[in-house]
Amino acid sequence: MAAPTSNKLILPRYRRDPEGTHPPLDSPGYRSTGLRHPKQPLVLLPQMLTEVTGPLLGPGRIGEQDNDLTRQHAEEPQGQRILVHGRLLDGDGRGIPDSLIEIWQANAGGRYRHIGDNWPAPLDPNFDGVGRTITDSAGRYEFTTIKPGAYPWKNHDNAWRPAHIHFSVFGQAFTQRLVTQMYFPDDPLFFQDPIFNSIPDEKARQRMISRFDYSRTTDHWALGFEFDIVVRGREASVFEDEEDE
Amino acid sequence: MTTPSQTVGPYLAIGLPWDDGPTVVPEGTPGAVWIRGVVTDGERNPVPDAMIETWQADPQGRFDHPDDPRGRVEGFRGFGRCPTKPDGSYAILTLLPGTIPGEGGATQAPHIDVSVFARGLLNRVVTRVYFPENTAANAADPVLKSVPADRRGTLVAEKTEDGYRFDVRLQGEAETVFFDV
């Protein structure tokens, strides 16, 4: 098979995250991990072309109102209107431009518009809980939505999920793909939540909590919250010599 | 400092699926193949609330990405996304990737990178699909060679009538090989 050749492959490398940044796949406190975590050790995958590239999903993916979850129906949803904004950054603090961000969340009563959610809080006919946007040239994004409610689940006795918004980001490379949850400051439910507490490193855990932002709070309109999402950073470029063909 | 990963939870289906997610290329594209499979847990039960994402080169082994050092080739999305059904199944329609340069002048056998997300997975798990007809290229592939021989088979899809079958066994007997990227 003839492979495309070049004299040099110049590939970026993405730094590994410090131990404790991400949750162990086997986290017994979160019961659903029990039968779903791999038991064999992960095999180290060197970063090659497939890993240092990734889908660049542009504006064709989103509609005009997709970043305003309060305007997707004829009427406004119930609940506390909020503005969630921030930047998508790489590990060196550089904004990642033109990158797709997707969010989904429960309504103000803590209920998801999903057939499997049987929690007896009412659905809101004016709220789907789904948003998308593309970061601007500085990596900034913003969503207008309502503050999601906490909700009970069956993980342990009297288990409640702290209010959260699911975030899905791509960055620029397969290595940077990240799905996380954004939490709200001072939530009294953190102490008993095994998903939030699955992050071993205390400082890393705190990075999932948004910051109340009075400067982006709009008088008589919405409370502001700031949430930066940081994906893995690059090492300096590596030059690989290839034999001349 | 990197933001930690969290599970997609049980309700990813309201937020992440796209109508055209499973079709990396439109139906009817000449040469397109279906990659189908089932995601199962440690008791062999189907995982009905997972999502598969795929990322790959085009048939010439090129990527629509500026960090492809040979230059970006536009037009092939290279990305697929499919939530699992109640029976744990998924299906992605795509073109077979080409051979891809590896390290030090070596080549990599054609492959597709796969991410699996689900309730109960606090982070995605990553695997690769290889293709059974590329016997020699697979035998020489640096990543496949780094996997214990008795587990390599979990990364090689099976040929089917309309494409390939690639099951994902999250845990237990014949557990799929997952990678640390």
**Residues B116, A10 contacting (CB under 8 angstroms):** no
**Nearest-angstrom CA–CA distance, A206 and B116:** 26
**Residues A134, A98 contacting (CB under 8 angstroms):** yes
**Nearest-angstrom CA–CA distance, B143 and B149:** 12
Q: What is the pLDDT of residue A8?
A: 60
Q: What is the pLDDT of residue A78?
A: 98
Residue in A27, A35, A39, A243 to test binding to B, most B beta-carbons within 10 Å: A35
Say if the Cβ atoms of B3 and A207 lie within 8 Å. yes
Given the cut 0.95, state whether the ipTM is greater than it. yes
* CATH architecture for the domain at B12-169: Sandwich (2.60)
Catalytic residue, candidates A140, A166, A177, A207: A166
Question: What's the average model confidence in pLDDT over A200-227?
Answer: 98
- In this complex, is the C-beta atom of A238 within 8 Å of any C-beta atom belonging to chain B? no
Neighbours of B129 (CB within 10 A): 21
Q: Is residue A1 part of a domain?
A: no
B5 band by pLDDT with thresholds 50, 70 and 90? very high
Q: How many domains does chain A have?
A: 1
**Nearest-angstrom CA–CA distance, A8 and A108:** 54
**Residues B53, B117 contacting (CB under 8 angstroms):** yes
Say if the Cβ atoms of B101 and A49 lie within 8 Å. yes
Say if the Cβ atoms of A22 and B56 lie within 8 Å. no
Say if the Cβ atoms of B122 and A21 lie within 8 Å. no
The CATH number of the domain holding residue A201 is 2.60.130.10
Q: What is the pLDDT of residue A237?
A: 58
A3 band by pLDDT with thresholds 50, 70 and 90? very low
Q: Is residue A2 part of a domain?
A: no
Dump pLDDT digits (tens) for B63-110. Answer: 999 999 888 998 899 999 999 999 999 999 999 999 999 888 889 999
Report the greatest alpha carbon distance in chain B: 47
A residues 218-237 lying closer than 8 A (beta carbon) to B: 228-233
B131 φ, ψ (degrees, to nearest 5): -115, 135
Kindly write down the DSSP assignment for every residue of A104-157, as one continuous string: EE--TTS--SSTT---SSPP-TT---EEEEE--TTSEEEEEEEPPPPEEESSST
**Nearest-angstrom CA–CA distance, B50 and B117:** 5
Say if the Cβ atoms of B60 and A4 lie within 8 Å. yes
Q: Is residue A31 part of a domain?
A: yes
Q: What is the mean pLDDT of chain A?
A: 92
Neighbours of A215 (CB within 10 A): 6
Global pTM exceeds 0.90 = yes
> Of the candidates B47, B55, B120, which has its C-beta nearest A55's C-beta?
B55
The answer, yes or no, to whether residue A242 has pLDDT greater than 90, is no
The answer, yes or no, to whether residue B162 has pLDDT greater than 60, is yes
Dump pLDDT digits (tens) for A81-123. Answer: 999 999 999 999 999 999 999 999 999 999 999 999 989 999 9
- Provide the b/e sequence for A193-214 (b: ≥16 CB within 10 Å): bbbbbbbebeebbebbbbeebe
In chain B, where the domains are located:
12-169
The domain in which residue A231 lies consists of: 8-241
**Nearest-angstrom CA–CA distance, A240 and B15:** 40
- In this complex, is the C-beta atom of A114 within 8 Å of any C-beta atom belonging to chain B? yes
A41: Cβ–Cβ under 8 A, 6 or more apart, which residues? none
Per DSSP bridges, beta strands B107-108 and B100-101 are antiparallel
**Nearest-angstrom CA–CA distance, A10 and B78:** 21
Q: What is the pLDDT of residue A60?
A: 80
Which token pair is A41?
């050790």
Residue A151 designated active-site = yes
**Residues B86, B28 contacting (CB under 8 angstroms):** no
**Nearest-angstrom CA–CA distance, A157 and A152:** 10
Q: What angle do CA A205, A112, A65 make, to 5 degrees?
A: 90
Which token pair is A219?
């008088």
